[in-house]
């Protein structure tokens, strides 16, 4: 149903599951205490399409469980509008077009039962097409951006010109109501008016030409707080941030949105302003998580002084819907991972926390620290992959030491014959077999930089005790190291 709100020159609404429409006062002016029509509609549904300031459409699908029947939903819409100084036309219908037409033509609350959209709009006069917004369903001006059609200053005049031309032509044919237009044969109508004529006929039948395209809120989602006394330190600042994050999170939940970027502005007692920007790893709106992330950022990057004014603005994205799999291990929530990474960054530094990434280098063990993202959900394995029987092919893994272990190596004719080390767990012993050497070198052209060159010979050796090691000789310093052990 869909619901439309039409305030003759200020509002219109549309709901999915039961369409409803509303319109604003004829003057189009907002009196004291009045709110925009789209703000009223967003209190009932996150899917709102703004056609113009006086006409909005929203999807009311699923509201029946909360508010009751379509008639009860319409009454609740009228009561909420009256509390805000608005008296819109409200229409609820099975299709968005039918709700728009009924709201534009009739005052009060109109409820169209399921399956009765065509018969309900058939009695309406053709003049209602003059007010139909082209951004909603009309077949003209399709180059306007989706979701923002009908919001420009010339939108109303273009709607009126298109609707008036069609109405004048149809009246010359002797048609008076939408039912007369809906009953014409489609083929002769197309031969005379083209595809636009067929589209106008579908509108006259209450059919939707396109789905509802939700319009994002024009006003930015932000919170600002002026303090009577400056605050210093993270503990008092945490109470101030809680007062800002909680109402902001409630607004995001009402719009079915989540924050992806936090823009913070701190005005210091020195009248200087410090701006900070936090990129969130995933859309989230938990006020406690947002506050914790801000505090951990300020712990790593302290402010230069006390704060007497704070502003928090968010960039939004659709709320995240997570579908877990029964065949794979559950992953941690992004809110938990974001908090953990923020705490580690505050302790170790931002450059020491992240995910390893490949680099264009042959240096053994070289990697780059990249920003950690939780990654996507893994797809469930097909039934054929659930066989846990051991594979017939052996698997060999090299366990590399993050810091190579120094070793003493005896060599004969350039080949290692015995390996010993003082590391616990690495006993060493005589070399039973050795393969190598593999010589690698690089970055020798860099002099005086942070990255030193390397020049080494690698060997894979099997000791008499059964251990298999990868060792190498640093040719620049003539020293031996154990690089890893084969499991």
Using alpha carbons, select from 218, 228, 222, 261 the residue that is nearest to residue 245.
222
CA distances from 117 to 24, 95, 129, 203 (A): 23, 7, 16, 11
Using alpha carbons, select from 97, 85, 112, 94 the residue that is nearest to residue 51.
97
- Per DSSP bridges, beta strands 89-93 and 109-111 are parallel
pLDDT digit string (tens) for 451-480?
Answer: 677 888 888 888 877 788 888 888 888 888
User: pLDDT tens track of the chain, all 487 residues?
Assistant: 888 888 875 333 333 334 445 444 333 344 433 457 888 888 888 888 888 888 889 998 888 888 889 899 999 999 998 988 888 999 999 999 999 999 988 888 999 998 888 899 999 998 888 888 754 444 443 334 334 444 444 444 555 566 677 788 888 888 999 999 889 998 888 888 888 888 888 888 888 888 888 877 666 788 888 888 888 888 888 888 888 899 888 888 877 788 888 999 999 888 888 898 888 877 888 888 888 888 888 888 888 888 888 999 988 887 776 666 777 776 667 777 777 777 787 777 777 777 788 888 888 877 787 777 654 444 444 444 444 445 556 667 788 888 888 888 888 888 888 888 878 777 778 888 888 888 888 877 776 666 677 888 888 888 877 788 888 888 888 888 888 888 7
Largest CA-CA distance found in the chain, in angstroms, rounded: 110
β-partners of residue 320 are: none
List, in order of start, the domains of the chain with CATH numbers: 2-204 (no CATH), 226-318 (3.30.1490.100), 398-486 (no CATH)
Rg (CA), the chain: 34
pLDDT of residue 306: 86
Dihedral sign (CA 89, 209, 142, 138): negative
Using alpha carbons, select from 274, 350, 334, 359 the residue that is nearest to residue 310.
274
Burial class (CB in 10 A: 0-12, 13-18, 19+), 384: exposed
β-partners of residue 307 are: 231, 268
- Per DSSP bridges, beta strands 257-268 and 307-318 are antiparallel
**Residues 185, 190, 196, 198, Cα dihedral to 10°:** 30
Cβ-based neighbour number of residue 285 at 10 Å = 24
Q: Which long-range contacts (CB under 8 A, 24 or more apart) does 396-401 make?
A: 396/486, 396/487, 397/486, 397/487, 398/470, 398/484, 398/485, 398/486, 398/487, 399/484, 399/485, 399/486, 399/487, 400/365, 400/470, 400/483, 400/484, 401/482, 401/483, 401/484
pLDDT of residue 195: 85
Spell out the alpha helix ranges (H) of 205-333: 234-254, 287-300
Using alpha carbons, select from 289, 272, 271, 288 the residue that is nearest to residue 280.
289
């Amino acid at each position: 149903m869909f619901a439309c709100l039409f305030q003759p020159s200020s509002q219109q609404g549309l709901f999915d599951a039961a369409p409803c429409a509303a319109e604003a006062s004829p003057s189009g002016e907002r009196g004291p205490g009045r709110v925009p029509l789209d703000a009223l509609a967003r209190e009932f549904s996150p899917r709102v399409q703004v056609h113009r300031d006086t006409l909005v459409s929203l999807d009311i699908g699923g509201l029946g469980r909360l508010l009751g029947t379509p008639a009860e939903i319409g009454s609740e819409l009228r009561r909420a509008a009256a509390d805000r100084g608005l008296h819109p036309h409200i229409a609820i219908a099975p299709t968005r077009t039918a709700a728009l037409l009924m709201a534009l033509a009739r005052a009060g609350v109109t409820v169209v039962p399921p399956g009765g959209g065509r018969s309900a709009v058939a009695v309406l006069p053709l003049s209602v097409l003059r007010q139909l917004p082209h951004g909603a369903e009309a077949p003209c001006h399709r180059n306007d951006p989706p979701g923002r059609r009908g919001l420009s200053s010339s939108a109303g005049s273009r709607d009126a010109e298109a609707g008036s031309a069609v109405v004048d032509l149809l009246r010359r044919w002797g048609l008076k109501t939408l039912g007369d237009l809906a009953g014409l044969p489609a083929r002769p109508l197309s031969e005379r008016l083209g595809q636009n004529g067929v589209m106008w006929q579908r509108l006259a039948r209450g059919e939707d030409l396109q789905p509802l395209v939700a319009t994002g809120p024009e006003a930015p989602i932000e919170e600002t707080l002026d303090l009577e006394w400056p605050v210093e330190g993270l503990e008092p600042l945490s109470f101030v941030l809680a007062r800002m994050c909680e109402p902001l999170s409630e607004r995001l939940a009402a719009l079915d949105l989540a924050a992806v970027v936090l823009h913070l502005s701190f005005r210091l007692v020195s009248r200087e302003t410090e701006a900070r920007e936090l990129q969130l790893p995933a859309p989230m709106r938990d006020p406690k998580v947002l506050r914790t992330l801000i505090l951990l950022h300020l712990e790593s990057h302290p402010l230069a002084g006390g704060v007497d004014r704070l502003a928090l603005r968010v960039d939004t994205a659709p709320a995240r819907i997570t579908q877990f799999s029964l065949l794979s291990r559950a992953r941690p929530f992004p809110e938990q991972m974001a908090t953990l990474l923020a705490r580690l960054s505050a302790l170790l530094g931002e450059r020491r926390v992240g995910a390893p990434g490949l680099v264009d280098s042959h240096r053994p063990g070289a990697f780059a620290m990249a920003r950690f993202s939780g990654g996507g959900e893994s797809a469930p394995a097909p039934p054929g992959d659930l066989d846990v029987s051991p594979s017939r092919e052996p698997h060999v893994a090299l366990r590399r030491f993050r810091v190579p272990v120094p070793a003493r190596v005896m060599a004969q004719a350039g080949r290692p014959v015995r390996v010993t080390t003082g590391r616990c767990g690495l006993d060493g012993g005589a070399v039973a077999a050795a393969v190598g050497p593999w010589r690698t070198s690089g970055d020798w052209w860099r002099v005086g930089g942070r990255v030193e060159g390397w020049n080494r010979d690698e060997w894979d050796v099997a000791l008499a005790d059964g251990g298999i090691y990868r060792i190498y000789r640093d040719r620049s310093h003539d020293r031996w190291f154990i690089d890893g052990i084969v499991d």
